Structure 1
Amino acid sequence: MRGDGDGWVLSDNGAHYWGRHGAAGLLLRAPRPDGSRAILLQHRAAWSHQGGTWGLPGGARDSHETVEQAAVREAHEEAGLSAHQLTVRTSVVTAEVHGTGGPAWTYTTVIADVPTQVDTVPNRESSELRWVAEDEVTELPLHPGFAASWQRLREVAAAIPLQAGLQPDA
């Protein structure tokens, strides 16, 4: 179902950004057996904007949604994740662009945890979903926006311990 946020915003410099009310993505973390962290990444379908690159499940925010609600909804649509499987920890505005005749467009990354590397179900927007070791993320061809924000996101996430006591989805 299309929401009221679907559509392009034109920036002052003529670039287009998806999401009439901004956009949000979910940086989902899970523990690995060795105690390090894994990040859920989406290999974007070839037909999509910046297709063939790796990034986070995410997309346009609808007018009635918080950034957290939008990121969790997009993760459900693109990866089959349910809100009850994860714990939202924080959110970080990772891009802000001034648009023509309207408020600034923002992309917000929501950081959340799951207790294990849960199974995912890709939709047509994904060529693949993969749990990637945090130290190996930059070895993949990343979506330019994600690549530009990865180091900052990694620093923010490192300051937040993985949520303890989560129960895996039964």
Structure 2
Amino acid sequence: MDSTAAPQVGESPFAPLLPGDPRRPLGPRDPGDAWVNGDRGRFWGRFGSAGLLVHDPAKGVLLQHRALWSHQGGTWGLPGGALHQGEEAIHGALREAHEEAAVPPGNLQVLFTSVFDVGYWSYTTVVALALQPFEAAISDAESIELQWVGIDGVGGKELHPGFAAAWPGLRSRLTEARGIAGRL
């Protein structure tokens, strides 16, 4: 694949491995790791994608600074990625966040999900509360950095365009859910 050309259906979005760059993946690891194209654009994840927005009341929201070689690289978003065939979005988001940021799935309470659906592809944001503080850690090649960011600071980051569009609604729902959870 020419690294300047957009990947086609079934091709990896990753540039070829370069000498001295062991962090860059070599290609698809699962049949879901492929682009899908349609009249609303090109999206990653043959079976859809999901990401985890985890909130720790003391630390903020866990954000991932996306690797430069990835689609929309250099922007900030959520740990997440392509779903496996037949995988539920919540499970996929928890799996991806564990793979990419060492997020302990047993330490979370899912508050709600939000789905962006274009008909032939969907992205599910799973919003969860950290029940106990934990240290996120880069555990694969898809992150430059992980950072806990206060809710008021998220919009100040250079966000992935999809996350940037979704953040105002997610923020509102998270703020409401936190208020309800705090009264339980």
Shorter-normalised TM range:
0.7 to 0.9
Determine the structure 2 residue equivalent to 1:24. Answer: 50
RMSD: 1.7
Paired residue for 1:125, among 119, 130, 142?
A: 142
Return the offset for 1:6.
Answer: 1.0
Distance 1:137 1:117, change over 3 A: farther
Secondary structure of the residue that 1:161 maps to in structure 2? Answer: helix
1:149 aligns to 2:166 (yes or no): yes
CA distance in 1, matches of 2:38, 2:121: 8
Q: TM-score, normalised by structure 1?
A: 0.84
Quick one: distance in 1 between partners of 2:147 and 2:63? 5
- What is residue 67 of structure 1 aligned with on the other side? 89
Matched residue, 1:97: 118
8 Å Cα contact 1:44/1:128 also seen in 2: yes
Aligned equivalents of 1:112 and 1:136: distance in 2? 18
Say how many residue pairs are matched. Answer: 153
Out of 157, 162, 171, the residue aligned to residue 140 of structure 1 is 157
1:50 paired with 2:61, answer no
Q: Could you report, residue by residue, the CA deviation over 1:2-55 in whole angstroms, capped at 9, with x for unpaired residues? A: 223111110214x210000110000000012xxxx6000000011111000000
Gaps of 5+ in 2: 1-27
Q: What CA distance in whole angstroms lies between the structure 2 residues aligned with 1:112 and 1:24? A: 13
For the Cα contact (< 8 Å) 1:27–1:39, is it kept in 2?
Answer: yes
Deviations 1:126-147 (A, max 9, x none): 0000000000001110000000
Residue type of the partner of 1:96? Answer: D
Secondary structure, in 3 states, of the residue corresponding to 2:96? helix
Residue 90 of structure 1, CA deviation: 1.2
> What is the CA distance between 1:116 and its match in structure 2?
4.4
5+ long unaligned stretches in structure 1: 99-103, 165-170
Whether 1:84 aligns to 2:106 is yes
Q: Distance in 2 between matches of 1:62 and 1:131?
A: 27
